[in-house]
Amino acid sequence: MEDIYQKIYGKLNRMGVFDVRQYAVIEKPPYTPLCIDRIADDCYALSQNRVDDGFVIADPDVEIRIDHKNKIAEPLSYQDRSVRKIVYPKPGLVNLKVKNELASFLDRWLDDLLSQGFIRHQ
């Protein structure tokens, strides 16, 4: 049975996130565009950047670590205009409450994005 990190990996794969070499934007009007940043070989950031009174606001912005060998993806951080949450606040320390919360959020958000058609090569 798949765990939540395997499910997240599969959803990111279906969306075409792993094909991004540096930066990509998926536009699906009327929804806010989805930005995909490849931060490192094993790390991506997904964000929906809306413009509010001339300011670009990442709401939300999630960093995700990828383990292709084990086909898992784990959220590392989340931020929006009012809060920033970090799974690993210091080396060797994990905030399990935030880790579980962000995994659940990311799983639901990816479901929403897929249902809205946010897939790179369609």
Mean pLDDT, residues 56-78 taken together:
93
List, for residues 9-23, the tens digit of each pLDDT value.
Answer: 999 999 999 999 999
Name the 3-class secondary structure at 105.
helix
Give this prediction's pTM.
Answer: 0.92
Task: Output Rg (C-alpha) for the chain, integer angstroms.
Answer: 14
Q: Please name the residues in contact with 74: beta carbons below 8 A apart, sequence gap of 6 or more.
A: 5, 8, 64, 65, 67, 87, 99, 103
Lookup: tokens for 1:
């049975």
Mean pLDDT, residues 104-110 taken together:
98
pLDDT tops 70 at residue 122: no
List, for residues 34-63, the tens digit of each pLDDT value.
Answer: 999 999 999 999 999 877 777 767 779 999
Tell me how far the alpha carbon of residue 14 is from its chain's centroid: 13
- Where do we find the tokens 């991506």? 44
Terminal CA-CA length for the chain: 29
Mean pLDDT, residues 87-113 taken together:
97
114 touches 14 (CB < 8 A): yes
